[in-house]
Structure 1
């Protein structure tokens, strides 16, 4: 059985390595799970974030790497059981010159500019906190957004807290600022997504994920990419 998976460039979850191979925490998770259910060939399709759901809905590929699960997205594709629970954060220049620690802090400064990726949930989150369109700069992917931050074209890049930790750890000019946990203590959940008619694959992947998520092997693999226990424990069944 051959499976086609779409991904984008967003370390530490998924990215193209220097040798041209596809790697990352969610890529490794996909390979472990798919091999366990009998998949013999996995093909990776690099795409853009805003093409994830239209692509899988149109059967251009079989599944997407994990992204945040939202009611709107669930209308277009079927999501797997959650595979991680991750909060937002900012990537800023070292020293955080404008003291940006939340979306609200961006909204309170008319001179603050925030980088966001087209199609990602952070756009709605920022706007709901009062960030205006004039403060938002949309980029096609993570690398271009980070380059803009380093060049001083924006003051912060909003993404996942774990992703920002990894980027900041590799670049001394940057630092990661995690946002406060929501009052209810819950973190947004992410999962693989599939064409709604692909019932057999969805069922098989979910059965294997329920067995594997939270196991010692799973935790060890995720730890290599910077995912901590608090980002795994909420999705352990």
Structure 2
């Protein structure tokens, strides 16, 4: 009798293990946010809201003085999510360098931070198709005392450059010959401006729309954006970047639904209308570029 019970128990354990291995009887493998058998998208639709990660980076995603979450990435996602049946977005403020880790840990279910698509990030998250395309920029003290017009100039001059933690500009600077000792890592863009104002850095760098917005907010006539800045060429290619929302890699259903609605925004002209509200122009539209092409 005991032998019969033992055989039954073994069979149950083997069946349970097999189901767990192929995922058919557990979650659908579409995100940590979903309950058993329920995708992240389905759960968000059911509960009526989704939590998004952002880094308080103007003009991509930031909170206004009254606590309103906005920015180009946020407003594009807001329209798309509402059309997918998700009415509310709840923001989870995170340092830029911690956004991917926060997504993977389930602290939020997507990243709306205007994050650039690159091959390293593609190995960690699933990107939607790009919503904009932009270049880099630098700002210095008025008069540009060190005559900095490129990342190579920063490298050769020994200038201190402030850059936000986790930003792709760190890699660009390093590949342009800027020494680690020259790079001043700061938590966010406003801290970079503060470092330049206080003399802890000789130059700051970020994407062009972000730099324009931070200089406008600072209202400091002792600072200036370098108009003749030369775009970096890294590994033989221009670093003009493409930004997009990001999801957990298992959330393929969500990404596909998001992309379908994003394509409709492009076709109708609504995408450009949203971008223009945050200082972008038609020149910053992503064209026909896709996340698959950028991920390689």
The Cα RMSD (Å) is 1.9
Equivalent residue, structure 2, for 1:176: 225
SS in 2 for 1:96: coil
Higher relative contact order at CA 8 Å, sep ≥6: structure 1 or structure 2? Answer: 1
The Cα offsets for residues 120-142 of structure 1, whole Å up to 9 and x where unpaired, read as: 11111001000001111111111
Matched, 1:18 2:68: no
Equivalent residue, structure 2, for 1:94: 142
Distance 2:287 2:198 in 1: 37
Distance 1:33 1:135 in 2: 41
Matched, 1:136 2:179: no
Matched residue pairs, number? 236
8 Å contact 1:4–1:45 — kept in the other structure?
Answer: yes
When residues 235 and 17 of structure 1 are mapped into structure 2, their CA distance, relative to the original with a 3 A threshold, is: farther
Partner residue of 2:265 out of 190, 198, 212: 212
When residues 214 and 102 of structure 1 are mapped into structure 2, their CA distance, relative to the original with a 3 A threshold, is: farther
8 Å contact 1:12–1:24 — kept in the other structure?
Answer: yes
Matched, 1:77 2:125: yes
8 Å contact 1:83–1:235 — kept in the other structure?
Answer: no
Matched, 1:149 2:192: no
Q: CA deviation at 1:184?
A: 6.0
Distance 1:73 1:22 in 2: 24
The Cα offsets for residues 112-164 of structure 1, whole Å up to 9 and x where unpaired, read as: 10001111111110010000011111111111111111112101111001111
If each structure's helix is expressed as a fraction of its own residues, which one has the higher value? Answer: 2
Q: Which runs of 5+ in 2 are unaligned?
A: 1-44, 291-296
Q: CA deviation at 1:189?
A: 1.2
8 Å contact 1:161–1:177 — kept in the other structure?
Answer: no
Distance 1:91 1:186 in 2: 18
Distance 1:184 1:56 in 2: 30
Equivalent residue, structure 2, for 1:162: 209
Under a length normalisation based on structure 2, what TM-score does the superposition of the two structures give?
Answer: 0.75
Distance 2:101 2:270 in 1: 33
The Cα offsets for residues 153-194 of structure 1, whole Å up to 9 and x where unpaired, read as: 101111001111222234233222364345866721111110
When residues 72 and 145 of structure 1 are mapped into structure 2, their CA distance, relative to the original with a 3 A threshold, is: same
Equivalent residue, structure 1, for 2:104: 57
8 Å contact 1:116–1:139 — kept in the other structure?
Answer: yes
Equivalent residue, structure 2, for 1:27: 74
Equivalent residue, structure 1, for 2:174: 127
SS in 2 for 1:89: strand
Equivalent residue, structure 2, for 1:45: 92
Distance 2:286 2:125 in 1: 25
When residues 233 and 74 of structure 1 are mapped into structure 2, their CA distance, relative to the original with a 3 A threshold, is: closer
Q: Which runs of 5+ in 1 are unaligned?
A: none
Matched, 1:192 2:240: no
8 Å contact 1:214–1:233 — kept in the other structure?
Answer: no
